Chain A
Amino acid sequence: EIVLTQSPATLSLSPGERATLSCRASQSVSTSLAWYQQKPGQAPRLVIYDASKRATGIPPRFSGSGSGTDFTLTISSLEPEDFAVYYCQQRSNWPFLLTFGPGTTVDIK
């Protein structure tokens, strides 16, 4: 089973700063990695899929990169609405399984 680890657990930044979130897989997942944003009391929202493709309606300040085992979600300049928890997620082929990382909280410094 592929395990995802995310770092840091918490990122304390100010609006306007750059956020860099990391996700590492225990074995290669090629580019089958997604990122989700979740705010308190809300359902998650897809931000990035296939490692680097922005989901519909996601602003260009969000970007994803990486392949294999190491992935990064970058928010180039934090807006107030970006403070949230971010989860990475991958799919295992056999058995079919979606696995989420433990999450990174981006909070206001």
Chain B
Amino acid sequence: QVQLVESGGGVVQPGKSLRLSCAASGFTFSGFGMHWVRQAPGKGLEWVAVIWHDGSRKYYIDSVKGRFTVSRDISKNTVYLQMSDLRVEDTAVYYCARDLMERSVDKWGPGTLVIVSS
């Protein structure tokens, strides 16, 4: 069955960097785009970024452009979110999710918590 497992979260100071990973299994990873979606404590869902199935396109929400970079390693069935210049407002649970027809997401990982605090 489809499985997505995020890792790499933790507590980090403002201005520092962190890299999240999402290991995928149970499906043909190279055939699907992958998204990152975050949820601040007690808040709603916010889409962060997407990478196309072949890595040819990447899109980001405005608030993370220039600070976050999404990438993928087909050989490891893993998608990454490199986050730099982290801000307090980046504190959230970060979910990776599998793309569904470039219109929604159909599978989600359990999430990894990122806390940005001094």
List A residues at the B interface (Cβ < 8 Å): 32, 34, 36, 38, 42-46, 49-50, 55-56, 87, 89, 91, 95-103
- The answer to whether A43 touches B109 (Cβ under 8 A) is yes
Given contacts A36-B45, A89-B104, A91-B104, 19 further A-B contacts (CB under 8 A): A32-B103, A34-B105, A43-B95, A43-B109, A44-B37, A49-B100, A49-B101, A49-B104, A56-B106, A91-B102, A95-B59, A97-B59, A98-B37, A98-B104, A98-B105, A100-B44, A100-B46, A100-B47, A103-B44
- The answer to whether B44 touches A91 (Cβ under 8 A) is no
- The answer to whether A97 touches B47 (Cβ under 8 A) is yes
Which residues does chain A contribute within 8 Å of B81, judged by CB atoms?
A: none
Main secondary structure of the interface of B (DSSP, over half): strand
- The answer to whether B103 touches A50 (Cβ under 8 A) is yes
Chain B's interface size range is: 20 to 34
Complex-state Cα separation, A56 to B100, whole angstroms: 12
Q: B61 an interface residue at 8 Å Cβ cutoff?
A: yes
Central interface residue in A96, A97, A98, A103, by most chain B CB within 10 Å: A98
Q: Can you list 11 pairs linking A and B with CB atoms under 8 Å apart?
A: A32-B103, A34-B100, A34-B104, A36-B45, A43-B111, A46-B107, A50-B103, A50-B104, A89-B104, A91-B104, A99-B47
